[in-house]
Every structure is written in structure tokens, then in C-alpha cells.
Amino acid sequence: MHDVHERFAGIKETVVDARFPLTASVVKSLSQLSGTDLISAGATDLPLASTLNSPQLTENALTQLRERPHERAEAPVRLQLGSESYLAFVILRPYGSDVPSGARRVLVLFNESQVNAASRRAGILPLATGLSTIALITTLMIWATERLARRLQRLQQGVQRIASGEFASAVPDTSTDEVGQLGRSVNLMATELRQLWLQVNQQQGSKLLHQMASGMAHQLRNTLTGARLALELHRQNCQHVGQEELEVALREMEFAEDYVQRLLMVGAGQQQPDQPGNVLACLQEVCASQMTIAKHLHVKLDWECSAELSGYSINDTASLAAAVTNLVQNAVQVATHVVVRAHLIDDQTCQVTISDDGPGVDPTISDRLFEPFVSSKPEGIGLGLAVVQRAAEKLSGQVRWKRESDKTRFEFCCKVARV
């Protein structure tokens, strides 16, 4: 409609100020240029020129205008001419002798069907563009929403697994947006929770160990003391029978009493003073006791200690003896052949290697092998290797293990000093 009014304003400006006669040819030319139908009429409303197809339509248009004189203003008037509907504008020309054509009025007719068609053409492009844009945006939003929902669902499932205690679970989201950052934060939280859980278990194990030490040590101390006294009396009465076995039994009893004393001190939150001594002598004592056990179990035990160890001492022989004893006993219980080698790695480090042909470490506990109360044996309580680990830490060393060529190999390293 804005276009219609602009076209009418252009026609009006041309017609009102025109000094040329509005003949039929001029009216036809103006009609073709403006895309409208024009009717010029004189002062008595008689038609002078018209671009309509028939005089009847022209007369009908002028008649309808005469019947509605109040609508002859510049506002459009709807006229029904035959089968077509028109929007009609009336232009009043200055009346006087200076108007050669004598045309007093000019009727400008806009075919309403053409106006409506122009309106539709004007609306189709933005409507089509808008609808296609809405469809595209809607599709993208649905895709993005579904993708985000799936990612959030995976994140929720990961959090639920972590909440149920599966701290090894990871959220598989490596993107760089906020959801990906949240997933990485959840994974970091799971790692921290797993470490915290292990620390809590270790602390609970240590607490339980202290409680067990306090309860068991009091019961064992009196029993071991009586047994040792009985062995000493038997040795005095039978001086020529089984002296070697009695000596081994007495040494084992002394070791047992020392362990009980350690348990008592652990239960009381104390630590037994270090017992410095010669490295070679300590290992030879352990060898003597373990040879008897291996012989009883029909296990071949090869023991070799480097002679140069006689010139070195260790801060606590009890810790070294406990560590090597536990490693050797674990080996002879599952193997048929055990090899023990002790030598110097450098001037400050001694290494004791225990290898056996047993079945090896249970894979289910391999990553927690040195933790307290971790054992694959039905009758085991999981303290032997924990004692080894603690001895290695006390002697400023380390313990490690590996499986190669059907052999299980434990390496216990500790700091020594030249005498």
C-alpha cells in the first residue's frame, strides 16, 4: 500500500502541474508508465479519455463516484467494475481556461488483484527466508540439545559410579567447553577420592594392627618365655642329642620374643631402639634358621652372601632380619627352588635378591602387594610384605619385585656403612 500511495503521488504531481492536454494518447502513455488505469472527465463528469477496455466500465466507474461524492477525496475508494475490483484515487485539476484539455478530474485505478499479488510477492521472500531460518535454527538446537543431553547423561553416570565407590571410573569427555571442564574436574575428584580412600584404609589397617599387637603380644610373651626356658633345660639335660636343631629352635624363639616385644611397643605407640650390627653376620643367622625350614618343606634353598659384606654394618639388624625372613618364607612356601643372593651395589647400598620358581604374585593384588592385610593366602593376614616395606623405609632403602622367565624376583635394598 505504501508503494500504491507513492505511485499515486507521482501521477498526481505529473497531472496537476501538467500544461499539456490530457488526450487519449497521453492518458494511455501515463497508464503504461504507472501501471494503472486512468479516466479523465470534464466538469460535468463526462468521460474524456479512458484506458479501460469498454466505455461501459468507464461510465460505471464515474457513476459509482457520483453516488458517493463524500468519498471523492484523495483516500482510495474501492470500486467493483465487472469482475475486477479497483482502488480508486481522484485527482482534481485546477479549473480554468488555462487547462487546454478541459479535464477537471482524473480517476486513477489500481487493480486490487495486482496489488494483492504484489503484496504476496513482497511477503514470500522474507517469509520463506524466515521459515527456512527457523527450521535450520530449530534443527541445530535439537541436535545441540540432544548432544548436550547425552554428554550430561554420561557425566551423571560417571558421578553415580564414583559415588558407589568405583573411583577408577572416568568420564569420557575431552572437549574444551564447560561440560568437558566439568568432566575433567569429576575425574580429578575421583582420583583424589581414590587416594583418600587408600589412605583411610591404610590408617584403619595401622590402627587395627596396633590393636592386634596389643592384644596378641601379652598372650604370646609368657608362652614364648616358657617355651624358651623349656628348650634351654632340654639342652642342658641332653647335651649330645640334636644340639644343632636345639640351637636353631632357641634362635627362632629369641626372634619370636623380639617380635613380640616389637608388637608391644607398636601397640603402645613406641618404637624399639635400633640394634646396629654386622650385615654378613645378620644374614648368616637368618640363613641358618631358614635352611632348617626349607629342609623340612623339602625345598632347595641356595644361599650366597658376598664376603665383602663382613666389612659393613647396618643401623638395625632386626629390621633386616625381619625383611629377609619374610621374603624367604614366602618363597619356600610356594616354590621348589629358592635362590638368595646378597651383595653390594655400591659402597653404601646392599641388595638382597630372593628368586623362586613358584607361581608368582596373584594379579588381583599385585598393585597393593605391600599394603597391610593384603594377602592371597586363605590363612594369611597380609602382614609379611608390609613388614618388609616398613623395614625398607626404616633402612633408607626400597623393595621391588618382578616376574620374568617363570621366576618371581624380589629385590630388597638398604643403606649400609663401612666399618
The bridge status of strand 37-41 relative to strand 47-50 is antiparallel
Residue 111 host element (H or E): strand 105-111
Q: Is residue 71 very low, low, confident or very high in pLDDT (cuts 50, 70, 90)?
A: very low
- Assign 150 to helix, strand or coil: helix
191, 166 contact by CB (below 8 A): no
- Assign 140 to helix, strand or coil: helix
Instruction: Give the pLDDT score at 240.
Output: 58
Cα separation, 162 vs 190, in Å, equals 6
C-alpha cell at 11: 501521477
Instruction: Give the pLDDT score at 305.
Output: 95
Residue 294 host element (H or E): helix 279-296
CA angle 320, 260, 388 (to 5 degrees): 30
Of 324, 307, 343, 360, the residue nearest 416 (C-alpha): 343
pLDDT digits (tens, 9 = 90+) for 126-158: 888 999 999 999 999 999 899 888 888 888 888
pTM comes to 0.47
Of 202, 204, 167, 203, the residue nearest 187 (C-alpha): 167
pLDDT digits (tens, 9 = 90+) for 333-356: 999 999 999 999 999 999 999 999
More confident residue, 190 or 75: 190
**Residues in contact with 322: Cβ distance below 8 Å, sequence separation at least 6, in sequence order:** 259, 387, 388, 391
Rounded to an integer, the average pLDDT of 204-217 is 63
344's torsion region: left (phi>0), alpha (psi -120 to 50) or beta? Answer: beta
